[in-house]
Amino acid sequence: MGVTKANLGRGAGILMPISALPGPYGIGTLGKSAYEFADFAAESGFRYWQVLPVGPTSFGDSPYQSFSAFAGNPYFIDLDFLIEEGLLLKEEADQVSFGENETDIDYAAIFHNRFTLLRKAYGRSKHKGKKEYTAFLKENAFWIEDYSFYMAVKFHFENRSWQEWDEEIKYRREDAVQKYQKLLADEIDFWKFCQFKFRLQWNRLKTYVNGKGLKFIGDIPLYVAMDSSDVWVHHDLFELDEDCEPIHIAGVPPDAFSDDGQRWGNPLYRWDVMEAQDFLWWRERMKANASLYDVIRIDHFIGIVNYWSIAADCPTAIEGEWKKGPGEKLLKAVLEVIGDAGIIAEDLGVLTKPVKNLIAKLGFPGMKIIEFGLDCEPDNDYLPHNYTTSNTVAYIGTHDNETLVGFLNGCDREQLTKIKIYFGARTNKDLPDQIIRSLIACVADVAVIQTQDLLGLDNAARTNLPSTVGQNWRWRATKEQIDGIDKLYYRELFRRYNR
């Protein structure tokens, strides 16, 4: 069943979030720079472009804490395309400040200024009578009304979490729903417009990317944010008490990233209720993601088999307990709706035997992280010589890891000597290139390199430091940096190792 869907074929991938693309408006978009990046990736010989989740972000700016499991981020709507459509004036966009540093995303500036421009575009748009808009609403009927209503009410209550709204609408009482739908009708239509434009621009980019011989690998969080339209609308699907407060929350026990574990705060699913509904919400979610991406990486895949349940009032993740997830029943439902899309199982963490068995049975490729192997102990599963199957996606590191240069900068002399011996590097300076070469040469079908590691950047360019808030998800590349990467070198390297 899953084997043919998961067979990705041998190739190289590049990890580049949409937010990190160059461009003039403070954050990467689905505009010109995205097309130029696709050109660069194709000319360099890459076969996969992996992105982080593209949903609308909330406090902390994490794409893994989104207002919706279905919607796209309005920040990614390209303003130049709106200008070309006559919905904005160039001078209107140029007069707005989106931040001062082209390599750092100023989310506060973007939040305060982006929606003003999008509202101007909405006011000038004549999309409502068009067939493609009607088709968009029909295709996304499961979530579009709920999400747009949620965002309209959220802005009405000055962006507070839905748990802090007036009681009548917090609990979605029928008379309150009708009242606010009438009161906020135009605002609701604005949020539908944003999603319509996002999807049009995404579809156009995806067509271009696929035409270049590239496939999109998308990343979806296993869990959804408490402050999301999904939890507000579908109370019954989550472990909430009668006051809509979470009973148990998601996270992981102590691991390589944190001595206290990670307390993510996401509400846990009521898997029994979901199963009774034949996993309808998950079916719709995965069907929506399969229309966005060619391959879907399910973050924290192990939580489908067994998950760490933490009491909501526990300050750390230490005092949690393992609970049994839906396992194969959920994945069978998912495979029925995703068509030709592939699945990657992000199987990092505590790999129990049931997790290993399920991944093997369904044929999903798992993941390997070379940085996890740089203690260079011979039996470390993350060192390339221990990769036992080609049905694997291998990385130097992901968005949660240090950059390669940053990691090596933190190693002492003894450790660097071990790493140099293992990877055949004569000097410390040679190490990053040798490690990347080992990744490309390894048996894994797909080898993914972070853009920061291609650029040789240190931890100032790190995407995310887990369990921290404030400086994450902010890094952006410049056009000059991307243009400076030696395309011919990587194209030849990929050819030599049959990628």
- Bridge-based pairing of strands 215-220 and 48-50 is parallel
* Torsion, Cα of 106, 298, 406, 253 (10° steps): 100
State the catalytic residue, choosing from 219, 294, 299, 445.
299
Q: Which of 36, 400, 430, 433 is an active site residue?
A: 400
**401 token code pair:** 């890891």
Distance (Å) of CA 7 to CA 55, 273, 330, 382:
27, 32, 20, 21
Nearest CA among 344, 346, 348, 399 for reference residue 373: 348
Q: Across-strand partners of 215? A: 48
Calpha distance 473→111 (Å, rounded): 15
* DSSP symbols for 244-298: S-BSEEEEE-S-SS-TT-EEEEEEPB-HHHHHHTTTHHHHHHHHHHHHH-SEEEE
C-alpha–C-alpha distance, residues 307 and 325, integer Å = 6
Task: Give Cα separations from 410 to 272, 319, 428 (angstroms).
Answer: 46, 31, 12
3-class secondary-structure state, position 372: helix
Q: What are all long-range contacts of 405-409, with beta carbons under 8 Å and residues at least 24 apart?
A: 405/432, 405/453, 405/456, 405/457, 405/458, 405/459, 406/457, 406/458, 406/459, 406/460, 406/461, 406/462, 407/371, 407/374, 408/432, 409/458, 409/459
What tokens appear for 301 in the block? 């895949």
Instruction: Tell me the HSE value of 76 on the side-chain side, using a 13 A CA sphere.
Output: 27
The DSSP call for residue 231 is: H
* Of 14, 9, 20, 147, residue with least CA distance to 477: 20
Instruction: State how far the alpha carbon of 191 is from the alpha carbons of 20, 123, 146, 384, 472, in Å.
Output: 24, 12, 11, 47, 26
Measured CA to CA in angstroms, residue 117 lies from 55, 79, 343 at distances of 19, 8, 37
Full DSSP string of 57-90:
B-TT--TTSBS-SSPPPGGGS-HHHHHHTTSS-H
Q: Is 346 a catalytic residue?
A: yes
Furthest CA-CA distance within the chain: 73
Among the options 61, 78, 146, 346, which is catalytic? 346
Residues involved in catalysis = 299, 346, 400
